[in-house]
Amino acid sequence: MTKQKKRNVIVGQSGGPTAAINSSLAGVFRTAKDRGYSKVYGMLHGVQGLLEGRYIDLSDHIRTGLDAELLKRTPSAYLGSCRYKLPGINEDRDVYDKIFKILDDLEIDCFIYIGGNDSMDTIKKLSDYAIVIGSEIRFVGCPKTIDNDLALTDHTPGYGSAAKYIGTSVKEIIRDGWSLETSNGQIIIVEIMGRNAGWLTGAAALSKGEDCDGPDAIYLPELDFDVKAFVKKCKELLKKKSSVVIAVSEGIHTKDGTYISEMGNATDYVDAFGHKQLTGTARYLCDLLSNEIGCKTRAIELSTLQRAASHCSSRVDILEAYEVGGAAMKAADEGDSGKMVVIERLSDDPYQAGTEVKDVHKIANDERLVPREWITKDGTYVTSEFITYVRPLIQGDVAPVMVDGIPRHLYVPGYQELL
Amino acid sequence: MTKQKKRNVIVGQSGGPTAAINSSLAGVFRTAKDRGYSKVYGMLHGVQGLLEGRYIDLSDHIRTGLDAELLKRTPSAYLGSCRYKLPGINEDRDVYDKIFKILDDLEIDCFIYIGGNDSMDTIKKLSDYAIVIGSEIRFVGCPKTIDNDLALTDHTPGYGSAAKYIGTSVKEIIRDGWSLETSNGQIIIVEIMGRNAGWLTGAAALSKGEDCDGPDAIYLPELDFDVKAFVKKCKELLKKKSSVVIAVSEGIHTKDGTYISEMGNATDYVDAFGHKQLTGTARYLCDLLSNEIGCKTRAIELSTLQRAASHCSSRVDILEAYEVGGAAMKAADEGDSGKMVVIERLSDDPYQAGTEVKDVHKIANDERLVPREWITKDGTYVTSEFITYVRPLIQGDVAPVMVDGIPRHLYVPGYQELL
């Protein structure tokens, strides 16, 4: 790099929010400032908002060290998110020209995008286009997803906090289930996010310990779901205990590819990427069990809280998200483009990890699933290897800043109107 | 009191569990021991379990000060709970004779029951029967319910922690809703417990502050729910903002007394097995809005987590629950019977409260609802008086004892098999 003068940075957030995505934003901002960039812009609602000319100067929002600490503790995408998919370069060059015009007008040197698979597709295309037109803007991706399904990285920021919330909540649900006796027993089905990857659902096993048996079965979307075998397993479990708790992924499906959620009252909603919106897996299975066994059932969806529960976030996760944001900024500053920062694990125990930079072409649109050998042979639980992998990622807390008994988030006057 | 020698105490838990009910149990145990009682028995699954001869010696479970601290942080009824209603004394004396035989065999002086309305009915009947047969056993009630609907007490232990969890979670849900833009806007309906009393649903307003607008509307079960007005209100809200969050009680009902959750039933909603299904209130309203407005919707039930989320409990609540347990034990020790401990608020700001003892005959089977004047005129929110009332009850935290990244609960070997 022989640039004489550092100009500006722009950063965006994309895809589903997490409890850690704003910590990465704080990390990008801090490192950009530390490395002498003039302005750090935040695009509102990602590339989609940028195309509409919507962005803010982050210095108006992160004004003090306390603001940065609040931002780390603020759930949801501070800048707003989007699920916008860039067209192929050959399909529509106008969109690209428009984006680069905006970036040039803002005198952008570095473009950081915090997101998952689809967001890395954006980094890939924009960095490719920069080569095509000879632009010197560097495009670097910063990984983020509760789903933990990005390729080439040991794990993704956001996953650890979601896993901690899931392990904690499932443990409380299990304990609650012990309190009341029911004549025919009860089965509680907890539905957890993760369309194709079972990383989150497997985290339900974190509730298992010296004081809790953990869920009685865990069904990941990596394997086909056998409805008959499931009912049989539930019957057997009810013979042994009066309160059974089962964790299922929203994405479990039968051998022919039919989602369980489609078997009941599924909605036909699809997002911009053509993903089917799944709801009601637990509800369907509860109806099924009531019908087949006649036991009491309860369907619990952890819903958006599993990605938004900053009050229960993991310290390891929040700090790593911050570091990864800084590392993405560093990489762009030092001339990398078309890259994503990844986390490399050096050791499980004691847990040690560092960051590296990898080619985004090898990452985008690729999904990392739970390995078959980390799921038990009968497909109804995760193995101890899975727990060894996830346990370090949920360690420690980030105490919320409590004001009037409720966690405080970052908010500057007029902020919501911007979104 | 002229008793020469103190003998034993028995304590039970009844009704829906809370995050604070075990703190009261710890309080009863401590005060009983401090006041020189020999054994403190815990009936398993309340009076129902006692009738089957199921009880434990609490000294086997609360062995150390650390155990007591863990118990305070353990959700769900440690002793197991029940929803058993004693027959009237004139209906079935055998049940009473059986209970008193067991109590006499265990050399019980004091019987403490931690619970809500139905549990106080048990205290009332047993203390009445003691008079009938000339028994010297004292029966005292210790209030507990997340519903906060017990008469004569300012509030009930368990409510503050549930309110804190609801305020915190609703705030995170609101923030999460800001992240993604949807073309026609989205409405998120959060369903909160409380069949007849709106204390819990009103607590959603605790999310409102300098950094959050709070939910856009709150519907309590104290008022009739007007479906048409609700749809109209939602349409208006969507004109003003793209993400709308509404809190509803599970018990909202139309003027003729039909629960909203029953309306899915009335309109021939059947599950995948052809059975009429009582859909959730939030689910029904979301389906309705999708149909009437065509916006994206999301139904979120806080489910059992709102009563079991010890990881987010209120310090005021946990400490008061402990004190109230101790006060119940003290009252029984000093000769009170047929009484319940109540909390009297001395001041809102600074918050000060103390305990008193009141006649359980004036409490049992009576429901305390949110006063009409604490609900806005148009019936879609709570007033500042409501917030002034609840705010002190959610103050402070009880840091969970974290082991391997997950909160630790009290568990002694073989404990679960007892339940």
B403 contacts A167? CB cut-off 8 A? no
For tokens 């993991």, name the residue. Answer: A314
Query: What are the residue numbers of the active site of A?
Result: 147
B407 contacts A171? CB cut-off 8 A? yes
| pLDDT recorded at residue A366 | 80
Average pLDDT, integer, range B332-343: 98
**Edge-to-edge order in the sheet of strand B296-301:** B217-219, B243-249, B186-192, B296-301
B280 or B38, greater pLDDT: B38
A118 or B329, greater pLDDT: B329
Average pLDDT, integer, range B100-124: 96
Rounded to the nearest angstrom, the minimum Cα separation between A410 and chain B is 7
Average pLDDT, integer, range B255-274: 70
ipTM of the complex: 0.96
| pLDDT recorded at residue A265 | 52
Residue in chain A nearest B207 by alpha carbon: A406
B209 contacts A311? CB cut-off 8 A? no
Dist CA B214 CA B381 (whole Å): 10
| pLDDT recorded at residue B341 | 98
User: For B200, phi and psi rounded to 5 degrees?
Assistant: -70, -45
* The pairing of beta strand B186-192 with beta strand B55-57: unpaired
CB A114 within 8 A of CB A11: yes
B212 contacts A411? CB cut-off 8 A? yes
Q: Which residues of A touch B311 (CB under 8 A)?
A: 168, 172, 312
| pLDDT recorded at residue A226 | 97
Percent of chain B with pLDDT over 90: 87
Residue in chain B nearest A268 by alpha carbon: B296
| pLDDT recorded at residue B267 | 43
Average pLDDT, integer, range A160-171: 98
| pLDDT recorded at residue A277 | 47
Residue in chain B nearest A414 by alpha carbon: B211
| pLDDT recorded at residue B272 | 58
For A263-289, how does the pLDDT look when each residue is reduced to its tens digit (9 = 90+)?
865 444 444 455 554 558 999 999 899
| pLDDT recorded at residue B266 | 41
User: What is the separation, in whole angstroms, between the first and last Cα of chain B?
Assistant: 36
Q: Which of A340, A195, A360, A370 is nearest to A271 (CA)?
A: A195
Among A228-237, A357-366, B122-131, which is the least confidently predicted range?
A357-366
Element (H, E) at B22: helix B21-34
| pLDDT recorded at residue B3 | 52
B277 or A398, greater pLDDT: A398
B137 or B183, greater pLDDT: B137
**Does the pLDDT at position B358 exceed 90?**
yes
For tokens 């609703």, name the residue. Answer: B170
| pLDDT recorded at residue B4 | 61
A80 contacts B181? CB cut-off 8 A? yes
Q: Which residues of B touch A307 (CB under 8 A)?
A: 176
Which of B175, B180, B402 is facing A82, going by the closest CB pair? B180
Residue in chain A nearest B299 by alpha carbon: A303
Dist CA B11 CA B29 (whole Å): 9
Indicate which of B241, B406, B415, B416 best probes the interface with A, i.e. most A CBs within 10 Å of its own CB: B406
B181 contacts A411? CB cut-off 8 A? no
Average pLDDT, integer, range B255-259: 94
Average pLDDT, integer, range A208-220: 97
- The alpha carbon of B298 is separated from its chain's Cα centroid by a whole number of angstroms, namely 26
Indicate which of A14, A47, A186, A406 best probes the interface with B, i.e. most B CBs within 10 Å of its own CB: A406
Q: Which residues of A touch B410 (CB under 8 A)?
A: 211
For every residue of B211-230, DSSP letters joined together read TB---SEEE-TTS---HHHH
Q: Which residues of A touch B405 (CB under 8 A)?
A: 164, 167, 206, 314, 391, 394-396
| pLDDT recorded at residue A270 | 46
Among A299-313, B252-266, B387-401, which is the least confidently predicted range?
B252-266
Q: Residue B279 carries which DSSP code?
A: -
The three state secondary structure string of chain A is CCCCCCCEEEEEECCCCCCCHHHHHHHHHHHHHHCCCCCEEEECCHHHHHHCCCEEEHHHCCCCHHHHHHHHCCCCCCCCECCCCCCCCCCCHHHHHHHHHHHHHCCEEEEEEEECHHHHHHHHHHHHHHHHHCCCCEEEEEECCCCCCECCCCCCCCHHHHHHHHHHHHHHHHHHHHHECCCCCEEEEEEECCCCCCHHHHHHHHHCECCECCCCEEECCCCCCCHHHHHHHHHHHHHHCCEEEEEEECCCECCCCCEHHHHCCCCCCECCCCCECCCCHHHHHHHHHHHHCCCEEEEEECCCHHHHCHHHCEHHHHHHHHHHHHHHHHHHHCCCCCEEEEEEEEEECCEEEEEEEEEHHHCCCCECCCCHHHECCCCCCECHHHHHHHHHHHCCECCCCEECCEECCCCCCCHHHHC
Dist CA A355 CA A411 (whole Å): 30
| pLDDT recorded at residue B2 | 52
CB A272 within 8 A of CB A121: no
| pLDDT recorded at residue B184 | 85
Dist CA A101 CA A238 (whole Å): 64
CB A217 within 8 A of CB A189: no
Rounded to the nearest angstrom, the minimum Cα separation between B269 and chain A is 10
For A180-199, how does the pLDDT look when each residue is reduced to its tens digit (9 = 90+)?
888 889 999 999 999 999 99
CB B282 within 8 A of CB B191: yes
pLDDT band at B390 (very low <50, low <70, confident <90, very high): very high
Residue A199, token pair as written in the block: 């990383």
**Catalytic entry in B109, B118, B121, B147:** B147
Q: Which residues of B touch A212 (CB under 8 A)?
A: 409, 411
Dist CA B324 CA B339 (whole Å): 13
| pLDDT recorded at residue A267 | 44
Average pLDDT, integer, range A136-143: 98
Average pLDDT, integer, range B64-72: 97
For A37-85, how does the pLDDT look when each residue is reduced to its tens digit (9 = 90+)?
999 999 999 999 999 999 999 999 999 999 999 999 999 999 999 999 9
Q: What angle do CA A85, B176, A111 make, to 5 degrees?
A: 40
Rounded to the nearest angstrom, the minimum Cα separation between A33 and chain B is 25
* Cβ atoms within 10 Å, residue B336: 20
A396 contacts B181? CB cut-off 8 A? no
Element (H, E) at B50: helix B46-51
| pLDDT recorded at residue B363 | 83
SS3 B408: coil
Which of B80, B308, B419 is facing A172, going by the closest CB pair? B308
**Does the pLDDT at position B269 exceed 80?**
no
Mean pLDDT over the full length of chain A: 94
Indicate which of A67, A118, A179 best probes the interface with B, i.e. most B CBs within 10 Å of its own CB: A179
A404 contacts B209? CB cut-off 8 A? yes
